[in-house]
Chains A and B, each alone.
Chain A
Amino acid sequence: MELLLFIVRRFLRLVLTILIISTIIFFVIRVIPGDPALVVAGIDASDDDIQAIRVRLGTDVPVGVQYVRWLSDIVRFDFGESMISGASVNKLILERFPLTLTLAVLGIMLGIIVAIPLGVLSAVHRWSFWDYFGMVYSQMGMAIPSFWLGLILLLVFAVKIPLFPLFGSDSLKHLILPAIALGFARAAVILRLTRAAMVEELSREYIITARAKGLTDRMIRYKHALRNAMIAVVTITGIQFGYMLGGAIIVEQVFSLPGLGRLFLYAIYQRDFPLIQGGVVFIAIVFSLVNFAVDILYSVLNPKIRIS
């Protein structure tokens, strides 16, 4: 019951967040100098053409009316049509989203599978081989840029040793290398945090109690300490996942994957305003949803949170 109330409260907050973000996006785009219709129409366009584009963009009416229309569009998840292809923005985004989502999920899974066990191992056996390995890994992970790692991965595992395909996005196999390139740095962050959280939890007083109870080391580490350490780990993992969804642009470019990142990049190149607006709102919604999910998971792990 307490948990349900918490979820409802967080959901209302989610709606409010999206409303605020949409408002900011609306005004930021209006503040950018220049009439979008002029940009679209080009210098040689006649006044009638420009006016026609304004009507299509909906910029022919006062800002207040535009804002109300904008909000009602968002409530109905209607972001209009692309000015370049004429297809609905929704359709364009939903066509590309599964690929980016799959990539991010693979990336975060890779991060979790590598980082959390290694982080726990590093904390439990401090200054051991695994701890040093973890340190070297996390230093490298944070220092190596993902586009460079992507290129090297392609060069080694697609060209020299052709284990993976060089292009395309048809099968899971195509996504392994991009997921590694995307997840490598994220895993480094999760690893550092897992180690730090676990070291801190192991030094808490309740661990002394657990030892005084005569519990085995396994129980102390994995039942008592890890449970508490996971609170911080889940939060950071969620944030990293959000990053991946929004930040796959570079990796998608390196691997020529037709994901959201590329879609928005070209939208910006071509000044496709409805698509840019829709894209930013979409990413904001996805990011908020990820945070919402993390909050709920967090409160399941940390009973104290639910009260406040």
Chain B
Amino acid sequence: MLEIKNLNISFVQGEKEANALRGISLSLKRNEVHSLVGESGSGKTVTSTCIMGLLPTPPGRINSGQIILNNQDLLLLEEKDQRQIRGKEIAMVFQEPARYLNPTLKVGDQITEMLILHLGMSNIEAVDRALEILELVGLEGGKRILDSYPHELSGGMKQRIMIAIAISCNPAFLIADEPTTALDVTLQLQILNLMLSLKNTLDMGILFISHDLRVVHDISDWVSVIYAGRIVESTSRKELFTNPKHPYTRLLLESIPDADKRGQRLQTIPGKVPDAENIPGGCAFHTRCPIAEDICKTDLPETKEVGSDNSGTSHTAACHFIGKQWKN
């Protein structure tokens, strides 16, 4: 299990301080897809960067929190020991494969260098293993692919290569930061299905970072909604999509375009995510919330259990007025 506990991160530049994460906690089990959903600027990427140990400090500053893997806090490890975990225990897939692959190195080298480094394989062993991985990610062509440069492959193939690189050392956890956003819709589906099948075959936990609720609906076991550096609601996929509690989640769900709502005006959430330098006091969402009252401007709502069914599924949300009605 990978556990993030009460992570609080700021970006400091001179006198200015931007509070990017304000106490994020989430846990990721193996063979589970946990989605982290939010608008841009809400802290999704900071979270993933920090888990990978790639947060630049300065300007980043970790104020508090722990990231626990195998009973050790990754934040306390030295750079040398963190490197043993990066790529080997926790791997990452990025949004735009074209930019995140090295343009002048053959795809094969980009896969085998990890095997040689982390698993101590010889060159020949690494190539054999790389060919197996290519099959695993559904790329046919074997050696020919390994001998290609990234620009010789299509967008979908490049993303499969990114995934191949990520899973090459059999990591226990995979962080996928909007892995399908740059792809067209048919490819999106293929890549999502690939990730789901890899999750099962490799018994891998996936932290899926996205702003696209439809994709999240298709892939997740568990969903956490993040707003202005805090998780405002967290529960199973089914519970979240059928019984959302936090007004922000409800508004997000209403803003998904839907064939049934044809002819109606598409719902949007007024305003935008506050920037991390000027987060409103109290509940950060009160400036855009349809049910906010005075207390929301002053008191930060606690994260509490709000589940209504007795199935035992945890359902937490941070709002003063859970269940309050609002006029549309």
Which residues of A are in contact with B by a Cβ distance under 8 Å? 204-206, 208-216, 219, 223-224, 227-228, 231, 301-304, 307
Contacts and interface: CB of A to CB of B under 8 A. Distances in A.
Nearest to B152: A303
Given A206-B101, A208-B100, A215-B87, 17 more contacts: A204-B99, A205-B94, A205-B100, A211-B86, A212-B52, A212-B87, A213-B114, A214-B87, A214-B117, A215-B83, A216-B117, A223-B105, A227-B102, A227-B104, A228-B103, A301-B104, A303-B152
Contacts, number: 79
Interface string B73-87: 000000000111111
A206 B99 contact: yes
B91 interface: yes
Interface string B151-192: 110000000001001000000000000000000000000000
Question: 10 closest Cβ contacts across the A-B interface?
Answer: A214-B86, A214-B87, A213-B87, A205-B99, A206-B102, A303-B149, A212-B92, A214-B83, A209-B100, A205-B100
Contacts of B162: 209
Contacts of A307: 151
9 contacts: A205-B99, A206-B102, A206-B103, A209-B94, A209-B162, A212-B86, A215-B113, A219-B117, A231-B104
B105 A227 contact: yes
B118 interface: yes
Interface of B: 52, 54, 82-88, 91-92, 94, 96, 99-105, 113-114, 117-118, 149, 151-152, 162, 165
B86 A303 contact: no
A243 to B, nearest CB: 27
Nearest to B54: A211
Contact of B100 (A206, A219, A231, A302): A206
Contacts of B86: 211-214
A210 to B, nearest CB: 7
Contacts of B101: 206, 209
B154 to A, nearest CB: 15
Contacts of B114: 213-215
B165 A215 contact: no
Nearest to B88: A214
Contacts of A205: 94, 96, 99-100
B28 to A, nearest CB: 17
- Give the interface centre of B91, B100, B101 by most chain A CB atoms within 10 Å: B100
Contacts of B102: 206, 209-210, 224, 227-228
B118 to A, nearest CB: 6
A211 B113 CA distance: 12
